[in-house]
Amino acid sequence: MQILIDNELGNLEEYFPIAKKKICQLEIKLREKYGMRDEKILGINMGNSFVDDISTCLRNNVGGLARVLKLMKLSFGKRFLELGCGGFPYSPDNVGNFRSTNWEPWLCRILNEVGYHVIGIDLGELDYESFECYGGVNAIDLRDSLAYRKIPNASLDVVYLGLLFSGSPTLGEILDERKIKKHEFFENLIEDLSPKMKNNGIIYQHLLYKY
């Protein structure tokens, strides 16, 4: 098992064009799936303020997809877990409210469509998603959760820690309440995740990741 933090992943230049192409291919499908049917397509009005939230979220995930493509060595069908993936239920009523769509599990949705076996875990609601997901899970108590028990040992290729460490609206409060330091939490989390990882699996923590 390997642990990578932030820029240890290295140069992503060759993966960005692949990621952008896949996002472009997926945009119409995902916009229709989530109820947004209009003329705005990725690459058109890129800087326009009235481009809708879904298009913005998809474009902002090009970097996330590029990182996953490199972590997975462009091999599809592997098992990917995002811990703290976001858990905000999509609703047409939220269009125009980027704060809501910003916390939806867009990376997991994209990877699911691309062809990975995706598992998303979050404290928020996830029952409505089409990928394997577990909502209402506190990462601090991960080992005690149903999600943890459902994941077979030695089965995960990549665990991605993005939103969890770069702006989770609840993690900081929980850590403060329990008087747990972030580095202690991270060390305990790695210990919990280790049995679930393949021998050549990777746990990746991107401190500056943003949707």
Residue 39 has pLDDT above 80, yes or no: no
Residues in the chain: 211
CA dihedral 127, 165, 108, 92 (to 10 degrees): 60
Quote the pLDDT of residue 92: 54
Residue 154 has pLDDT above 60, yes or no: yes
Distance between CA 192 and CA 207 in Å, rounded?
Answer: 20
pLDDT tens string 114-151 = 999 999 999 888 877 889 999 999 888 899 999 999 99
Q: Give the type of residue at 109.
A: R
State the helix-helix crossing angle for 62-71 and 53-60, rounded to 10 degrees: 30
Segments in 49-181 forming alpha helices (H): 53-60, 62-71, 98-101, 106-114, 146-150, 171-178
Name 82's bridge partners.
120, 160
pLDDT tens string 156-167 = 999 999 777 666
**Strands (E) located in 41-115:** 79-83
Quote the pLDDT of residue 33: 74
Q: What is the mean pLDDT of residues 33-42?
A: 51
More confident residue, 144 or 54: 144
Is 3.90.320 the CATH classification of the domain at 2-205?
no
What is the helix (H) or strand (E) element at residue 124, kind and residue range? none
% pLDDT > 90, the chain: 48
Handedness of CA 65, 104, 166, 161 (dihedral sign): negative
